Amino acid sequence: MDFEAIAKKFGLKKRYVEHLLYYSYFYKPVNFDKIEIPKENLQWWAREILKLQRPTKERLPFYEKIWEKHKEFSDTIIDIGSGLNPISLLLIDWRPKEYIALDIADSIVNFLNKLDFLPIKAKKFDFLSEIPKEKGLILLWKVIPIMDKFYGFRYVKNYLESLRGNIISISFPRKSLSGKKLIGRAWRYYIKRASPYKIIDEFETDNEYFIIFDATE
Ligand SMILES: C[S@@+](CC[C@H](N)C(=O)[O-])C[C@H]1O[C@@H](n2cnc3c(N)ncnc32)[C@H](O)[C@@H]1O
């Protein structure tokens, strides 16, 4: 589904759905068609681009640690609701063979596909109606609260069960958008109830909690 189909299905206004799923994650409106793709100073450029979206900006001081915790699992990454996250590869030395970035927003998909210096293959995809076919390390970073908001706990549980055959990394915010409420503990409990898999690793940064599950069997 695209924004319009989701709005129709849930009896919501398209503008509200676009805001909730896309615009609210940016600090200001961004026209991706106007962003020039550089040939040098790629690390500096990556930092500037990652500052545009909230989750990636908050992660900037922690990307090295975060990738260090993930790169051993697979050289195929499937990033569900990727946003700008794939660009963080420019901050580290490691490269997967393939980085499949799945996002509902055409602007993000087109932009990521222009970055031919990274092994990114971006595709339009809706995690409210689709499950990825590829196998590898699946990232579900900061997307579970959206799934829960639209479809509830059962959908999340079934979604995780249908990702069997992969390593799954899930992240969620430790604080509410206003920064006042501590919500990490509730999500941690929620995810552990929703996932039938064994935990391989759990760690946190200032703003985010990560849980990695072995769903290969
Ligand atoms: C939810 S955040 C997550 C970003 C990324 N996972 C991270 O943690 O850095 C925003 C991204 O999710 C995408 N998104 C929102 N709803 C989606 C959906 N139903 N299917 C796929 N992508 C979606 C938005 O387009 C946006 O780029």
Ligand 1 atom closest to 85 (CA): 9
132-176 confidence digits (pLDDT tens): 999 999 999 999 999 999 999 999 999 999 999 999 999 998 876
Structural domain including 171 reads 3-215
For ligand 1, say whether the CB of 108 is within 6 Å of any of its atoms: yes
Sign of the Cα torsion 11, 157, 167, 139 reads: positive
For ligand 1, say whether the CB of 172 is within 6 Å of any of its atoms: no
84-97 confidence digits (pLDDT tens): 999 999 999 999 99
Instruction: Give the DSSP per-residue string, 47-87.
Output: HHHHTSBHHHHHHGGGHHHHHHTTTTS-SEEEEET-TTGGG
**CATH code of the domain containing 48:** 3.40.50.150
Task: Write down the pLDDT at residue 178.
Answer: 62
172-189 confidence digits (pLDDT tens): 988 766 666 666 678 899
The structural domain count of the chain equals 1
Distance CA 65, CA 102 (A): 23
For ligand 1, say whether the CB of 128 is within 6 Å of any of its atoms: yes
- The per-residue b/e assignment along 55-82, b for 16 or more CB within 10 angstroms, e otherwise, is bbbbbeebbeebbebbbebbebbbbbbb
Task: Write down the pLDDT at residue 181.
Answer: 62
Distance CA 28, CA 25 (A): 9
Task: Write down the pLDDT at residue 174.
Answer: 84
* Strand, coil or helix: 177: coil
**2 CA → ligand 1 middle, Å:** 12
55-110 confidence digits (pLDDT tens): 999 999 999 999 999 999 999 999 999 999 999 999 999 999 999 999 999 999 99
Predicted TM-score (pTM) of this structure: 0.96
Ligand 1 atom closest to 79 (CA): 6
